[in-house]
Structure 1
Amino acid sequence: MSEQTPLGGGVPTTSSRFLFEVDGVEIGTFQEVRGLRLDVDVVEYVEGGQNAYVHQLPGVMRWPHLVFTRGMVQSDSLFGWVQRSSGQGFAGNDDTLTRATGAVTVVDERGTRLRSWELDGVFAVSWTGPSLSAESDAALTETLEVAHNGFRAVTR
């Protein structure tokens, strides 16, 4: 069985709590974050007379949307940010998109911040509320999807 490499040397890190902040305001603590990924397109160049290989050059960097899932929380920060960046704030601001800075942070069981990914140009693109049914006792969860222009990893 392999053990995870610790950040900072002590106890191995786990991936059980994730904090999402926008412009320094806590949006929520999430159960799952998907999409921390970077893809670089490859541009191929065929050189005349070079038949042993095709040149491969780095192209456009692509940053997939991040998808956050969490249990319901009692906070208006999420919808306040959505209204400012994509809702009424967007429509009332001469249709100028207000992008924000964001951060996804791994938090340990004591609340200590272990590692962050700082996001550029963040705005919300989708929110899905809980499925409500009187016949279900499943946990209520919300899903948030955000677009961004890239991130930087930061060890705390």
Structure 2
Amino acid sequence: MAQTGRRVDPYRAFNFIVTVIGLKEPVSFTECSGLGSTTEVIDGPRAIGGAGGGSGGLTRLPGKTTFTDITLKWGVTDSTELWDWRQQIVNGKVVRRNGSIVVFDLDNHTEVARWNFVNAWPSKWEGPALSQKGDIAIATLVLAHEGLTSFTTTKV
């Protein structure tokens, strides 16, 4: 809970790391998106005269929860580790990995937020757009996963 009179600034989106358990080389991702979940809404009839004294109408219940794919972008280097992981999927060998998305304070010393994802596997790889402009070659990897197990924040 925020203290009275104390300004609470939102976390900055640029100061983060993504770790994937089982990768030998660290990858400096430039962008991470897709942290989300959606729960289906099921409409059903409300019982008449039930515990809440309902008079009919609809009851809204939670249904199946699905998780948004995580999209990672990074500058292409001589490392082939992410490409190799994706190729395992293409070749029919599903290798699932857990990982975390961690946000740090502005001084890059203190972890302020963390989301852990479970049983992820690369469902899409997209190579960089190449041109004569001199831009950095950015590749994209999309991870399908089975859930975000936690969201934690640390008071700074």
Normalised-by-shorter TM-score class: 0.7 to 0.9
Q: SS where residue 105 of structure 1 aligns?
A: strand
Structure whose alpha-carbon radius of gyration is higher: 2
Deviates more, 1:30-39 or 1:111-120: 111-120
Structure 1 gap segments, 5+ residues each: 6-12, 91-96
Report the alpha carbon displacement of residue 35 of structure 1 after superposing the two structures with TM. Answer: 0.9
CA RMSD between the two structures:
2.7
The separation in 1 between residues aligned to 2:81 and 2:139, in whole angstroms, is 14
Per the normalisation by structure 2, the TM-score is 0.73
* TM-score, length of structure 1 as denominator length: 0.73
Q: 1-side partners of 2:56 and 2:44: how far apart?
A: 13
Aligned AA (1:144):
L
Q: Quote how far apart the aligned CAs of 1:57 are.
A: 0.6
Give, as a single letter, the amino acid of the residue that structure 1 aligns with 2:85. Answer: W
Partner of 1:9: none
CA contact (8 A) 1:46 1:55 kept: yes
Structural mapping, 1:18-97, within 5 Å: 18-25=16-23, 28-47=27-46, 49=48, 53-84=57-88, 86-88=89-91, 90=93, 97=94
Q: Paired residue for 1:115?
A: 113
Aligned residue pairs total 140
Distance in 2 of aligned mates of 1:111 and 1:83: 34
